[in-house]
Amino acid sequence: MKHITLILIAMLFSVTAFAQTTYDTDFTQTKVMKISGKTTNKAGHIFFDGNDQLNMTYTTPEGDYFSIDGNMVKIKMDGKKAELDAEKVKMIQLQRATLLNCLSGNWEQAAADNNADLSITEEDGLKTITITAKGKVPKGGYKSVVLTYRTSDNAMVKMVLEEAIGIINTYEIN
């Protein structure tokens, strides 16, 4: 029994260790509103330190940003600004945790936080992690998250976040 437990622990660590855990690169974002069919395209630069600091600075539209610095989440999108303490706003706490866990390769925790199943597939040099809600999505949670990595260098190349309210954000990472 002890041997099986050690093998399972080693397997979990190897899956988590697969992900690249820091990012300093450009990205494009496509946002689709399912109800209206409206699509918005954006671009920018992402910096993630592997812990709890994430900065997404948009070049299109210039001046927009999304950042996580510890528990603080700062947003400027479409002319609206907000600074939110994730410790005080549960919905933001879940979104913050999910995003940081997905970027750092802690997919099991992201799935647990979102009451979701986790599946991992590998095909044509890509590893795909899919997190799909089992039922009712927690407020602020995601209906699904799909992360795609190149197996050659463990770099994430795509992240698709589907919110329960029908917004799908697709990030292509260069």
| pLDDT given for residue 141 in this prediction | 86
d(CA 114, CA 137): 7
- Predicted confidence (pLDDT) per residue in 25-56, tens digit: 999 999 999 889 899 999 999 999 988 899 99
- Predicted confidence (pLDDT) per residue in 85-133, tens digit: 999 999 999 999 999 999 988 999 999 998 899 999 999 999 999 999 9
State the pTM of this model. 0.84
- Predicted confidence (pLDDT) per residue in 133-171, tens digit: 998 888 888 999 999 999 998 889 999 999 988 899 999
DSSP annotation of 95 reads: H
Q: 25-173 architecture in CATH?
A: Clam (2.50)
What percentage of the chain reaches a pLDDT higher than 70?
89
- Other Cβ atoms within 10 Å of 111 Cβ, number: 23
Comparing 13 with 99, which gets the higher pLDDT? Answer: 99
d(CA 145, CA 164): 11
Phi then psi dihedrals of residue 15, to 5 deg:
-65, -50
| pLDDT given for residue 20 in this prediction | 62
| pLDDT given for residue 19 in this prediction | 60
Give me the residue spans of the domains in the chain.
25-173
What percentage of the chain reaches a pLDDT higher than 90?
70
* E runs forming strands in 37-133: 39-48, 53-60, 62-69, 72-77, 80-85, 116-123, 126-133
